[in-house]
Amino acid sequence: MTPVLICCGAGGVGKTTSAAGLAIAQAQAGSRVVLLTIDPARRLADALGVRVGSEPCAVTLPAGLEAKGTLHALMLDPKETFDRVVGRWAPTPEARDRIYRNHVYQHVSANLAGAQEYMAMERLYELFRDGRWDCIVLDTPPTRHALDFLAAPDRMANLMDEGVMRWLVLPASRGGWRMIERGSEVLAGVLERMVGNSTIADIAEFFGAFQALWDGFRERSIEVSALLGAPSTRFYLVTTAAPAARAEARLFVEQLRSHQQPLAGFLVNRCLVPAGSPGAPEFAPRADLPEWDAAVGAVGQLYEQHLAKVALQEANIAELAAGTTAPVWRIPDLGEAVHDLDGITALSHYLRAAVA
């Protein structure tokens, strides 16, 4: 099965950059790699040469890398993916257009919380079936809980549940929001009072129009679940050494465990490099120069602060990994340079061991 490397993590930890670094490390080692990014910063998208809604496009890797494989990258467009999925699986052009025109569909496909997560799964499935790739690297949507997106196929499957569908769709196919059973009438009445008549009609039409697509959605969501659970799929937690990362890491490991997946490793971004020399900084005096002592004092203080930060970082990393056997890969803070292709390539050197 095609290996899938999945980078999870909270927003702002450098997830897209790390995913790109992993992808370059894989390409360097000789794989034909495709990188699926979700909502990357525009600078980063420019660096990789991807545009919204694009098909995978080739990334020209720095010559010095002597990459034995190739890298393609693309950027998820949830709305476009949703439209394409509907276009591809709708039984007739009329059914397709009826969905495109539906009020609720337009909202759901563009705004629904979770649509992004779900469409990432649909796009992953398309890439998986494509057959052109030796390795798929997936950057996940920024969620509070790193693994929320894993539940997307299950949530969709729940929505597709036959009982739910029958309840919602049958009345619509009879031409109105009328319930078969008396209990349902009460429910429908309450609902109508809440959101108004026209919304109910829109929602019923949405579910009605989608009826022909349900089976496909359900089948794919089962296949994606299987793919996510395969031994060839590896989950990385991208994080920083900040104290807040500890609770998140614990939650992540628990969630992975409930999906019967081991953690492939922690990618700890923006690590400070410990000072390598023993003792405190010392400078032979030059008391005749103005501000000499002030400069020595300030430099010494910056050094002390650095030591304190490194100590806190190491304590946090130790706690992060406590209770797991997953390896920790430290990625040093490369500063601003990391937002162009050369910077990401530099970062990928630290990830070679992580993909080996």
Partner 1 sequence: MPSPDRSIDRLLDRRIIVVTGKGGVGKTSVSLAIGALAASRGMNTLVCETNGADQICGSWGMHSGGYAITPLAPHLSTMSIRAETAIEEYLMRVLRFRKLYEMVFKNRVMGPFLDAVPGLHDLIQLGKVFDLERERSSVLSGRTRTWDLVVVDAPATGHGISMLTAPRGMMRLTRSGPFHDNARDVAGLIEDPARTAIVLVSLAEELPVFETVELYGRLGKFQEQVAAVVLNAVRTHGLPANYPDLRPELLARANPAGVEAIALADAALRRSAMQDRARQSLARLGAPVVDLPEIAGVELGPPAFDQLAAVLGQSP
Contacting partner 1 (CB under 8 A), which of 295, 318, 322, 353?
295
Candidate list 1, 12, 178, 180; residue touching partner 1; CB under 8 A: 12
Number of residues that bind partner 1 (CB under 8 A): 80
Which part of the chain contacts partner 1 (CB under 8 A), choosing from 8-16, 28-36, 223-231, 319-327?
8-16
Q: Please report whether residue 199 would count as binding partner 1 according to CB under 8 A.
A: yes
| Residue 116 CB, nearest approach to partner 1 (Å) | 9
* Binder among 175, 231, 276, 325 for partner 1 (CB under 8 A): 276
Helix (H) or strand (E) holding 319: helix 292-321
Determine the Cα–Cα distance for residues 47 and 157; give it in Å rounded to an integer.
37
Q: Is 180 near partner 1 (CB under 8 A)?
A: no
Position 277 contacts partner 1 (CB under 8 A): yes
| Binding map of partner 1 across residues 16-55, x = CB under 8 A, - = no contact | -----------------------x-xxxx-----------
| DSSP SS3 for 18 | helix
Site for partner 1 in 80-119 (CB under 8 A): 103-104, 107-108, 111-114
Tokens of 46: 């420019």
CB of 347 to partner 1, least distance (A): 14
- 164 near partner 1, judged by CB under 8 A: yes
What values do phi and psi take at 268, rounded to 5?
Answer: -95, 110
8: three-class secondary structure by DSSP: strand
**Which CB atom, from 108 or from 230, has the smaller least distance to partner 1?**
108
Strand, coil or helix: what is 75? strand
Using the contact rule CB under 8 A, the part of the chain among 120-128, 213-221, 226-234, 293-301 near partner 1 is 293-301
Cβ nearer to partner 1, comparing 259 with 286 = 286
CA–CA separation, 115 and 106 (whole Å): 12
C-alpha 100/C-alpha 146 separation (Å) is 31
- Site residues for partner 1, 119-158, by CB under 8 A, read 142, 144, 155, 158
Among 58, 186, 222, 318, binds partner 1 (CB under 8 A): 186
**What pairing do the DSSP bridges indicate for beta strands 4-8 and 233-240?**
parallel
For 240, other C-beta atoms within 10 Å of its C-beta total 23
Widest CA span in the chain = 96
| Binding test (CB under 8 A) with partner 1, winner from 222, 226, 247, 318 | 247
CB of 46 to partner 1, least distance (A): 11
Among 64, 93, 175, 190, binds partner 1 (CB under 8 A): 190
Question: Using the rule CB under 8 A, which residue among 62, 226, 303, 323 binds partner 1?
Answer: 303
CB of 270 to partner 1, least distance (A): 10
Please provide residue 35's backbone torsions phi and psi, each rounded to the nearest 5 degrees.
-110, 120
* Phi, psi angle pair for 108, to nearest 5°: -60, -45
In eight-state DSSP terms, residue 230 is S
- Residue 345 makes CB contacts below 8 A (sequence gap 6+) with 24, 61, 62, 65
Question: For residue 208, which of 158, 155, 170, 156 has the smallest C-alpha distance?
Answer: 170
Q: Could you tell me the smallest distance in angstroms from the CB atom of residue 68 to partner 1?
A: 31
Residue 287 touches partner 1, criterion: CB under 8 A: no
User: What's the DSSP call for residue 52?
Assistant: B
